Structure 1
Amino acid sequence: MTVAPASDKTVSRAPRPRPAYLDHAATTPVDPRVADEVLTYMSYEFGNAGSRTHNYGQIAKKRVNRAREEVSAVVAATPDEVIFTSGATESDNLAILGLAQHGEATGKKHMISTMIEHKAVLEPLEALASRGFDVELLPPVEGGWVTANAVAAALRQDTLMVSVMAVNNETGVIQPIEEIASALAGHDALFHVDGAQAYGKLIKPLRDQRIDLLSVSGHKISGPKGIGALITRRRDYKRPPLTPLMYGGGQERGIRPGTLPVALIAGLGTAATLALEENQQRMDAVAAIKEALVAALLPLGADLNGDPNRTIASTLNFSIPGVDSEAAIVALKDVVAISNGSACTSQSYNPSHVLAAAGLPEERIAGALRLSWGYSTSYVPVEAIAQRLRALSNH
């Protein structure tokens, strides 16, 4: 038997303290209640929801159907309007690219969106532009939102779709979804909303029945990664005219084929139910954290990026004069985990297209930091964050 050196025996195996996690806009920790549900359907009730000949499959199908009810209840849709996907990115692609065939067949090839959308919307729109679609991206006002008047002014007879996110993933600015929905009254254009940052948090706006297509992400509401949904609301009893991006199997009404990940779907369903049932207490908890952070940062001369009266309570984007965001992230890395923008583009950092579209100065964009938290955030080192940033600004 080999004996480890004495020096190795003295090494502590206790976990090291981890930095506080303030990057919930990128992903959230899975709620233990959700994790239990996922594990149950992963290790015990592991049947295929498409297997109709035995109890394993029937139990799986029953759980999937219940998840449709849970996901749809949050936004006042019907269970059969829920299409399960791998996440909001796939949902965005399905909503946008899935309308291409209908647009080409009807001659409606004008697409309206905004300059501040997530890449999961902007890049599919670029793909349509390369196919001859006329893509119009509206700029935000200085506070970081696109007005309903701007959308109304851009509408044309051949407008196929309007796509506007509910909450910006970088700034947390809430877009006027209900006002835009009202502006679309009497027009045939389909209204798509990327709800990744809003679903389960802002309840009333996403229940507007003028929203035809709504993208949902599980891992933004303490659900598992790899699962999401596209809500496809009927209008005048008609479903949105989507064409699938993949073929084979016929699942999800033929719109999104493939074996359903029952365990992940169960997790999304549970996360959706908890988000709805606990909405008010969660919003109160995250608002208290934001209040403490703003109170600590404003004395440092922080510029808040995005109208503070229009931002969601769980996100704060700010810049400290003279402080570069990359330097700040390094200085804070043992205290708190934060970001300077979207996780989807952080591997090769480029200046924020969201802040640039809002017309902010280059120095302010270069210094922008995003803090985001959730109902499960139990500790925020507010004073330590302020002290480290103050030290950087005094250099």
Structure 2
Amino acid sequence: MTIYLDSNATTRVLKPVADLVYNLMVEEYGNAGSRTHEFGIKAKQVTEKARAQVSAVVDADKSEVIFTSGATESNNIAILGLENFGLQENNKHIITTKIEHKAVLEPISYLEGKGFDVTYLNVNENGLIDLEELKSSLRDDTLLVSIMHVNNETGSIQPLEDICSILVDSEAYFHVDAAQSFAKLTGDLVNKRIDLISASGHKVYAPKGVGALIMRKRGFIKPPLKPIFFGGGQEKGLRPGTLAVPIIAGFGLACEIALTDNEEWQKHAQKLKANLIDKIKPLGATLNGDNSSPYVLNFSISGVNSEAAMVMFKGIAAVSNGSACTSTSYKQSHVLSAMGLDEDRINGAIRMSWSHMTAELPLDLIVSKLTQLKL
């Protein structure tokens, strides 16, 4: 049986979460906007409970959470929602990195086309930014700094605490794409200097199609975001549309479970990772990025092409060679390119990612197939 090793793309839904979602789809299926009967009132209560469960992950107030369809939408609202404020205040400078997910880079590129000035921070071979470059890039007219927490391709973890320290005297809004870390590697996300946090349910054992944008208030003032589409007053007028109560509730429950169990999950994931590294090192494997996340390993082996490896792994392990959102384009990874890796290393990059539900890795079979490709 093929083992699933693409959890950075999406995760299996936890059984209690799936059970809750099912019940809210076929038994208690009210609309949270219907206030005239008990079905709607129950749906509203369920939604508010989930809002509290999600906010607890980063020690925010539940009023600071809006539900979205996932981190891509959250990123778009966080970035494009600041456009009017930036124009009004003549703060049209944005700082981001060259290794962000396309859900950050493309909205920023859109604003760049509208006349905003963008600084793209470099990263080193480990996929980490230079804090001094960030510091020197800050300007009086910097509107937004958008830096991801954990990279989806390499697992490299940006030093959010240090970044927050650099931004302490800046008025710029700080946005963090936390799709790969929310409720799994959350520690640094509790820092109150982070204004905006994007999260996806399907990265943390909840269904696809739900996520959140956490918008921390500064004092009593919320970030000056404007909606990017219209058609209702839901989610404080910022994200219109009927709330997807079942999957919102599932996301909330997944967050609650993660808060209790994430340390144990991390220990198991780190053990899987260490065992994999021990097995592939004798093959001459080179790790791409600092691979700090215990849930993912990105590596290259001289003479092994990633496309060929994925074919060889069929029936054994489902792996990838980059972001699921761009995997059909067959373009070189912009992340690995930004890290300065050579073409052979990029073309050979294999990403294996797992969860706490991955009992063990088929290490001997993986090594056998990689060895065949080297011959």
TM-score, structure 2 as length reference:
0.99
Q: Which residue is 2:371 aligned to?
A: 390
Deviating 4+ runs (over 4 angstroms): none
Judge conservation of contact 1:338–1:369 (CA < 8 Å) in 2. Answer: yes
Using the alignment, how far apart are the partners of 1:130 and 1:96 within structure 2?
14
C-alpha offsets along residues 238-271 of structure 1, whole Å, 9 cap, x if unaligned? 1000000111210000000110000010000011
Distance in 1 (alpha carbons) for counterparts of 2:184 and 2:11: 13
| 2:242 maps to 1:259 | yes
User: 1:20 touches 1:379 (CA, 8 Å); kept in 2?
Assistant: no
The aligned amino acid for 1:350 is: K
- Match of residue 168 from structure 1: 151
1:105 matched residue in structure 2: 88
1:340 has 2:307 as partner: no
**Is residue 199–residue 212 contact of structure 2 (8 Å, CA) maintained in 1?**
yes
Count, aligned residues: 375
Deviation (angstroms), 1:237: 1.4
In 2, distance between residues paired with 1:151 and 1:260? Answer: 38
**Residue of structure 1 equivalent to 2:166:** 183
* Unaligned runs of at least 5 residues, structure 2: none
1:288 to 267, 271, 279: 271
The equivalent of 1:275 in structure 2 is 258
How far the C-alpha of 1:135 sits from its partner, in A, is 1.1
Consecutive unaligned residues in structure 1, runs of 5 or more: 1-16
Asked whether the equivalents of residues 215 and 229 of structure 1 are also in contact (C-alpha less than 8 Å), the reply is yes
Identity score, percent: 53
Could you tell me how far apart the structure 1 residues matched to 2:41 and 2:127 are? 48
Post-superposition Cα deviations, 1:367-392, rounded to whole Å, max 9, x if no partner, equal 00000000111231011001100110
Find the aligned partners of 2:33 and 2:85 in 1 and give their Cα distance.
29
Asked whether the 8 Å contact 1:108–1:158 carries over to 2, the reply is yes
- Residue of structure 1 equivalent to 2:354: 373
Shift of 1:224: 0.3
Separation in 2, partners of 1:324, 1:248: 48
Note the aligned Cα RMSD (angstroms): 0.7
> Which residue does the alignment assign to 2:295?
314
Within a 5 Å distance, the mapping from 1:225-240 to structure 2 comes to 225-240=208-223
* Counterpart-to-counterpart distance in 1, 2:141 and 2:13: 43
Q: Which residue does 2:65 correspond to in 1?
A: 82
Superposed displacement of residue 166, structure 1: 0.3
Contact 1:149-1:183 within 8 A present in 2 as well: no
377-386 or 97-106: bigger deviation: 377-386
Deviations 1:151-184 (A, max 9, x none): 1111001000000000000000001111101100
For 1:190, give the aligned amino acid: Y
Residue 294 of structure 2 is aligned to residue 329 of structure 1? no
Amino acid at match of 2:156: V
Structure 1 position 147, deviation (Å): 2.8
Q: Which residue identity does 1:357 align to in structure 2?
A: A
Residue 181 of structure 2 aligns to a residue whose secondary structure is coil
Residue equivalent to 1:39: 22
**Mapped contact 2:95–2:146 kept (Cα < 8 A):** yes
Over residues 320-376 of structure 1, what are the superposed CA-to-partner deviations in whole Å (9 max), with x where a residue is unaligned?
Answer: 001110001101111100000000000111111001001011100000000000011
1:215 match:
198
Q: CA deviation at 1:203?
A: 2.1
SS in 2 for 1:231: strand
How far apart, CA to CA, are the structure 2 residues paired with 1:273 and 1:60?
Answer: 19
Could you tell me which amino acid in structure 1 is paired with residue 300 of structure 2? Answer: S
Q: Distance in 2 between matches of 1:232 and 1:263?
A: 23
TM-score by length of 1: 0.94
- Contact preservation (8 Å) 1:164, 1:194: yes
The one of 325, 331, 340 aligned to 1:350: 331
Letter in structure 2 aligned against 1:381: P
> Which one-letter code corresponds to 2:155 in the other structure?
G
Q: What is the CA–CA distance in structure 2 between the aligned matches of 1:263 and 1:305, rounded to whole Å?
A: 38
- Give the number of the structure whose alpha-carbon radius of gyration is greater: 1
Deviations 1:89-146 (A, max 9, x none): 0000000000001001110000000000000000001100110000111010121111
Q: Secondary structure at the match of 2:309?
A: helix
1:149 deviates by 2.2
- The answer to whether the 8 A contact 1:147-1:176 is kept is no
Tell me how far apart the structure 1 counterparts of residues 337 and 45 of structure 2 sit (CA, whole Å): 47
Aligned-partner Cα distance in 2 for 1:95–1:168: 19
1:361 aligned onto 2:331: no
* Structure 1 segment 194-209 matched on structure 2, within 5 A: 194-209=177-192
CA distance in 2 between counterparts of 1:227 and 1:109 reads 30
Equivalent pair of 2:122/2:130 in contact (CA under 8 Å): no
The corresponding residue for 1:50 is 33
Classify the secondary structure of the residue corresponding to 1:348.
Answer: coil
Which residues in structure 2 correspond to 1:132-143 (within 5 Å)? 132-143=115-126
1:11 alignment counterpart: none
Aligned pairs for 1:12-31 within 5 A: 17=1, 19-31=2-14
Instruction: Check conservation: 2:272, 2:360, Cα contact below 8 A.
Output: no
Aligned partners of 1:65, 1:276: CA distance in 2, in Å? 18
Alpha-carbon separation, structure 1, partners of 2:373 and 2:253: 43
